[in-house]
Amino acid sequence: MEWSGTIRQEKRNIFFVPYLTRPHCFRHTFATRCFEAGIQPKTVQKYLGHATLQMTMDLYTHVLEHHLSDEMDKLEDRMDTIELLGDNIAEERYKKEFLLSTKSINIG
């Protein structure tokens, strides 16, 4: 019994390696790397020969963990910029209103 179990396990190991390295996997990797490099989705669609962009986007791209954090960093940077702009706008508006109110006090 133990011997037949070993043969089964060996067959699984032999099947497992070629299954992971089949040529079709390279299409998925290629599409993902294209998107990470900033290539436009419609261009990648044409490279892969897909009829629809949805096929390319849904099935052939994979988001990697470091890419997720990079994209979140972009959002954080944008939010920081918006916050600074908002602070500057508020400060300018305050100065303008303050100057107007001081002028009206001096005039009156």
Q: What confidence tens digit (pLDDT) does each residue in 27-74 have?
A: 888 888 898 888 999 999 999 999 999 988 888 777 777 777 888 898
At residue 9, what are phi and psi to the nearest 5 degrees?
-65, -40
What's the pLDDT score for residue 1? Answer: 44
Average pLDDT, the chain: 77
Percentage of the chain modeled with pLDDT above 70? 72
Indicate if the pLDDT at residue 25 is higher than 70. yes
Asked whether residue 20 carries a pLDDT value surpassing 80, the answer given is no
pLDDT of the residue at 21: 64
Contact status, residue 60 vs residue 27, Cβ threshold 8 Å: yes
How far is CA 23 from each of CA 10, 26, 27, 68, rounded to the nearest angstrom? 23, 6, 8, 27
Q: How many CB atoms lie within 10 A of CB 34?
A: 19
Q: Supply the pLDDT for residue 4.
A: 53
